[in-house]
Amino acid sequence: MNEADQLLDDFLVESFESLDQIDLEMMDLEVESDSPDLLDSIFRGIHTIKGTASFFDLFQLSNLAHSAENLLSLMRSGHIKADSQIIDALLASLDAMRLMLDTVSQTGTDTSFDQTGLINRLARLAHSASDSADRHDGIEPYDELSANHHPVAEPPLDSHESVESSLFLFEDDDVDDPASAAGMDDAHSGDDGRLDDGAEPKKAGRKSGQDVSDGRVRVDVGLLDRLMNLVGELVLARNQLLQGQKDSDQHISQIASQQLNLITAELQEGVMKTRMQPISRVWAKVPRSVRDLAIACDKKVRVEIAGGNTELDRTILEAIKDPLTHLVRNAIDHGIERPEQRVEQGKPETGLLEVRAFDDGGHVIIEISDDGAGLDLRQIREAAVACGVGVPEAIATMADEEVANLIFAPGLSTANTVSNVSGRGVGMDVVRANIESVGGGINITTTRGVGTTFTIRIPLTLAIIPTLIVRCGDEPYLISQVSLVEVLHVGRGTDSEIESAGGIPLLRLRDTLLPVVQLREVLGLEPAELNTGANVDIAVLQIDRVTFGLVVDQIVDTEEIVVKPLSPHLNNLGVFSGTTILGDGRVALILDAAGVARGSGLFRHKQREQRVPTARPTRRGGDAETVLGCMVGSTLIGVPLVLISRIERLPATVIEHTMGEHVALYRDGVMRLCYLSDMVGSSGRPEPEVDLTVLVYEQDGEVYGLVVDEVVDSLEIDPANGLSVGDQTLRVAATIGRRESDRIKIDELVASTRSVVSR
Amino acid sequence: MINDYVFGVAATEVQEVLGHQRLTRVPLAPNHIVGLINLRGQVVVALDLRGRLGLPGRESNPTMVNMVLRTDNGPIAVMVDQVGDVMNISDDEIGPVPVTFGPPMDKLLDGVCQLDHGLLLMLNVPEITRPALP
């Protein structure tokens, strides 16, 4: 890069930053219209841009800045007061400047722009104001090149169309009410001009504007000095260590290595800090976009921001930028009601949008909450059924919280929820995917009529993560503690046990049964045989709301590790997410918990879908449920794993038949038997003298035994696909006992049986 | 040198030659990836060229040497039986790959050079270190 390019680059970075700053100040100006400090600061910012732009021969840009400056100088001298018209015009100019800077960064010139319309608009405002006051000498009509009176600047992209064609995957009750939806459309088209030159160029400009500034980080000089000092100490410690070794002086070496330990920790922390940036960098634009959106949607919104100083690694900031924007848009477009509705419901006319960030032990929590209508769960349920996101029975019995989280499911939308403002082609599924890509999670709580809160939880940094070291075969492997729930050693006599049902091992952890995955198997090693009561180390992992036990050879230790990217040679193995170097200098692989689950067939149906070479996007089922597949006659039945407390093999001798009921003596009590073969209309019950395989299910102190022929495997089913069956030879599949707050009623169990002919 | 073949690599593409290193094996990885080595804090993939070149395999043994090559994807180690001499060869001494070399050898070679005691096969470094397509 030559010197001139370097200068231009600096100018671009600075200008984007000062435009952002001016944006914020404009927001304040709207409230305090006569604050001289604010006006001075805005004026200075624009003035600098104007001056530097003409230095670089960017005359379109400097002309526009000049006009804005004229208007501002009138405001400074008190000849005119800022009103919404003036602020709109100034904001439009700022956006146009961004767009121009953006073009400059790509092409080097701004000649493709004709800002005459916008310049005239500014000049008209200045004139009309100064006509009433004394004509001020400071204003000269700087550029009246064209008589062509565009009311506003025309951005080169067809923003209107992009707004119209976008599709949106979120919804709430706005759609219930056609009048309100139509009203919003009207309001929107009335404001089209403003939105077009307001929101659209800003978006475009902002995006690439940061591309320019992203290559560099501003570091506090104090921090840099401290780092330099630490490096100095590091060199000293090294000298000491070398000296100590040369003289074989144990004492000196020991002191030096302790020193080294301290310095490294401090250095690590310091360098980390240089990568940390306040979250306000991302949401500095929130007030501005809230303003534009509120106008576009004809709503009144006040935004409160707290915790902007919370710091996050810059790569993480990048990843959450778009999701945050999307959530804010949603809150305004869908969450907060129109003023008249709010008044009707006894709420203040102005809606409140709160954006908060705070630290929470190694994580940062971001909350975005509005005091709007909340989600219409009933409608989400309907939409979920209509869009095939889940089977009706599953959705009908879901807890409210689960229903709310359905909005993250891909494909959830209805035709009449397409919105002009929020639909930018980024659905809620993408929001979740983005957040999960940096190891975070998102949750939603909503109360009808009171509001909605999105809670995002993200790790502070990605570069150094706490992990669990496990051994499998001869090699150590690492598991990120983000997905780790707990670590267990199980065996006979411990609280938790491996239970083997028909060769399929399951982990009974307290009162739940979890599927078990053997790491050896995933890694292509000879798996160990897991019988009931086997003595093994298990790491319980949770991925995408699926919890499973990972059997490893040995749990070794926990360690904070520095993540090194995976070589492109190993990218497609699927089960590893990176590598690291352990304390002893060995290279170790980091396991990707989701990949392990996939590799083990826990998400079997998903994997199968991915192999299908059609262009259909793969579903990321958030509501997939693990069921225990059991053979009853020739039917495969899925029983939700969470319902079953254990699997037993009952000898025929303990079974008694009394008065049409079948009971078994079981653990000092009586267990009522329920023959699933009756439900599926299958060919007869097992012979009375045969031992029974029974799924034990407890409710209200009563113990029930669901009699099956054989336990096949734990399967993952996705409500979106109905059922998926691993084995092609099975013709009929059924699922029973849908969850209803984790309880089923045995007598309803039969009624809710559903048979699906697959194949 | 691998098996009985003598291969040549442009010296400018070689970053360094290391003795036997502790290897971390990568389960599920293709056969020609022997494992990962720690090259002064950098994790480097080690390849065994036998598989790539279609030569009979042999267990890696402590006498094998890691030759670290510079590539666009960062350094990559290639395990060879032995490293011989550095010699000067002018471009016109390198002839085209004889057509009798079938795949996969023909793609992985840049040319051949007649030496006093046999053929020197010039390796095409970008090609042999290219990650296999998924």
pLDDT tens per residue across span A562-595 = 788 777 777 777 788 888 888 788 889 988 887 7
Q: Which residue has the higher pLDDT, A622 or A696?
A: A696
Residues in Cβ contact with A385 at an 8 Å cutoff, skipping those fewer than 6 apart? A392, A395
Q: Quote the CA–CA distance of A316 and A411 in Å, as a whole number.
A: 26
Summarize pLDDT for A316-333 with one digit per residue, the tens.
888 888 888 888 888 888
**Residue A316, number of CB atoms within 10 A of its CB:** 25
Q: What's CA A706's distance to the chain center, in Å?
A: 40
d(CA A49, CA A650): 83
The tens digit of pLDDT for each residue in A421-471 reads 444 344 777 788 788 777 777 888 888 888 888 888 887 766 677 889 999
Q: At what angle do helices A84-107 and A3-31 cross, to 10 degrees?
A: 160
Res B11: pLDDT: 84
Residue A579 to residue B37, Cβ atoms within 8 A? no
Closest CB to B33: pick one of A475, A569, A575.
Answer: A569
Closest by Cα among A587, A581, A578, A472 to A523: A472
Find the mean pLDDT for residues A400-419: 63
- Residue A157: its pLDDT value, please? 41
Assess if residue B76 is contained within a domain.
Answer: yes
- Which residues of chain B does A473 touch, with a Cβ-Cβ cutoff of 8 Å? 27
Asked if residue B101 is part of any domain, the answer here is yes
List the single residue in B22, B29, B38 with the smallest CB-CB distance to A570: B29
Does the pLDDT value for residue B15 go beyond 60? Answer: yes
DSSP B39-103: ETTEEEEEEEHHHHHTPPP----TT-EEEEE--TTS-EEEEES---------GGGEEPPPTT--T
- The mean per-residue pLDDT over the stretch A395-424 comes to 61
Q: How confident is the model at residue A528 (pLDDT cuts 50, 70, 90)?
A: confident
C-alpha A596/C-alpha B27 separation (Å) is 12
Mean pLDDT of A168-183: 38
Query: What CA–CA distance (Å, rounded) separates A617 from A749?
Result: 35
Record: contact A576-B26, CB cut-off 8 A? yes
Is B1 within a domain? no
Q: Which of A523, A575, A587 sits opposite B24 (nearest CB)?
A: A587
- What is the DSSP annotation of A459-510? ES-SSEEEEEEEEETTEEEEEETTSEEEEEEE-TTSSSEEEEETTEEEEEET
- How many structural domains is chain B composed of? 1
Q: Do B26 and A570 touch (CB under 8 A)?
A: yes
Each residue's pLDDT tens digit, A285-308: 788 888 888 888 888 888 888 888
Per-residue confidence (pLDDT) for residue A18, from 0 to 100: 84
The domain of B19 spans 6-132
| Predicted local confidence at residue A146, as pLDDT | 39
Average pLDDT in the A545-570 region? 83
Q: What pLDDT was estimated at residue A699?
A: 64
Torsion angle of C-alpha atoms B71, B75, B77, B82, degrees rounded to 10: 80
- With beta carbons under 8 A apart, name residues in chain B contacting A610: none
DSSP A678: H
pLDDT at A611 over 60: no
User: Domain for residue B20, yes or no?
Assistant: yes
Q: Is the pLDDT of residue A675 over 80?
A: no
Give the pLDDT band of residue A94 (cuts 50, 70, 90).
confident
pLDDT higher than threshold 80 for residue A2: no
Query: Residue B61: phi, psi to the nearest 5?
Result: -130, 165
* Confidence tier at A103 by pLDDT (50, 70, 90): confident
Q: Nearest residue of B to residue A523 by CA position?
A: B27
Most confident of A207-221, A682-696, A728-742: A682-696
Chain B residues closer than 8 Å to A572 by CB: 134
pLDDT > 80? residue A391: no
Taking CA–CA distances from B76, the nearest residue in chain A reads: A567
Say if the Cβ atoms of B43 and A587 lie within 8 Å: yes
B21 min Cα distance to partner chain A (Å): 10
Which residues on chain B place their C-beta less than 8 Å from a C-beta of chain A?
Answer: 22, 24-29, 33, 35-38, 41-45, 47, 73-74, 76, 131-132, 134
Q: Which of B38, B76, B131 sits opposite A581 (nearest CB)?
A: B38
Mutate to test the interface with A, among B38, B44, B48, B66 (most CBs of A within 10 A): B38
- A40: tokens are 């001075």
Q: Which residues of A touch B74 (CB under 8 A)?
A: 567
pLDDT at A273: 79
Q: Which domain CATH number covers B46?
A: 2.40.50.180
pLDDT category of residue A228 using cuts at 50, 70 and 90? very high
What is the spatial distance between Cα A179 and Cα B119, in angstroms, rounded to a whole number?
85
Q: B26, A573: Cβ pair inside 8 Å?
A: yes
**Which chain A residues are closer than 8 Å to B42 by Cβ?**
564
Domain-embedded: residue B115: yes
Min Cα separation B91/chain A (Å): 31
A376-404 average pLDDT score: 73
Rounded average pLDDT over A662-682: 70
A and B: number of Cβ contacts within 8 A:
63
A567 and B24 in contact by Cβ < 8 A?
Answer: no
Please state the ipTM of this predicted complex.
0.83
- Partners of residue A586 in chain B, C-beta under 8 Å: 22, 24, 38
Instruction: Flag whether B68 is in a domain.
Output: yes
| Interface with A, mutate which of B43, B45, B128 (most A CBs under 10 A) | B43
Cα A190 → chain centroid: 34
Residue numbers in A near B73 (CB within 8 A): 567-568
Report the pLDDT averaged over residues B7-29. Answer: 84
Asked if A579's CB is within 8 angstroms of B131's CB, the reply is: no
Q: Tell me, yes or no, whether B89 lies in a domain.
A: yes
Tell me the pLDDT of chain A averaged across its residues. 71
Contact across the interface for A524 and B42, Cβ inside 8 Å: no
- Please say if the pLDDT value at position A201 is more than 80: no
Q: Nearest CB to B24: which of A525, A575, A588?
A: A588
Residue from the list B27, B35, B41 with its beta carbon closest to the beta carbon of A581: B41
Q: How far apart are CA A510 and CA A496, in angstroms?
A: 6
pLDDT band at A214 (very low <50, low <70, confident <90, very high): low
Interchain pair B45, A570: CB under 8 A: yes
Tokens of A13: 């970075």
pLDDT at A135: 44
| Best residue of B23, B36, B66, B68 to probe chain A, by most A CBs closer than 10 Å | B36
Q: Which of B24, B28, B45 sits opposite A523 (nearest CB)?
A: B28
- For residue B96, whether the previous peptide bond is cis, meaning omega lies within 30 degrees of 0, is no
Q: Which of A266-270, A472-476, B101-105 has the lowest mean pLDDT?
A: B101-105
**Residues on A contacting B at a C-beta cutoff of 8 Å:** 473-475, 523-525, 564, 567-576, 579-581, 585-589
* Residue B104 lies inside a defined structural domain of this protein: yes
Identify the pLDDT of residue A231: 92
* Closest chain B C-alpha to A251 CA, distance in angstroms: 27
Element at A383 (helix H, strand E): helix A377-386
pLDDT of residue A477: 92
Taking the CA of residue A14 and the nearest CA in chain B, the distance in Å comes to 34
Residue A414 has pLDDT above 80, yes or no: no
The pLDDT-based confidence of A232 (bands split at 50, 70, 90) is very high
Q: Are B37 and B22 in contact (CB under 8 A)?
A: yes
- Across A519-618, the runs of DSSP E, i.e. the strands, are 536-543, 546-552, 554-562, 576-581, 587-591
Tell me which chain A residues have a C-beta less than 8 angstroms from the C-beta of B134: 571-572
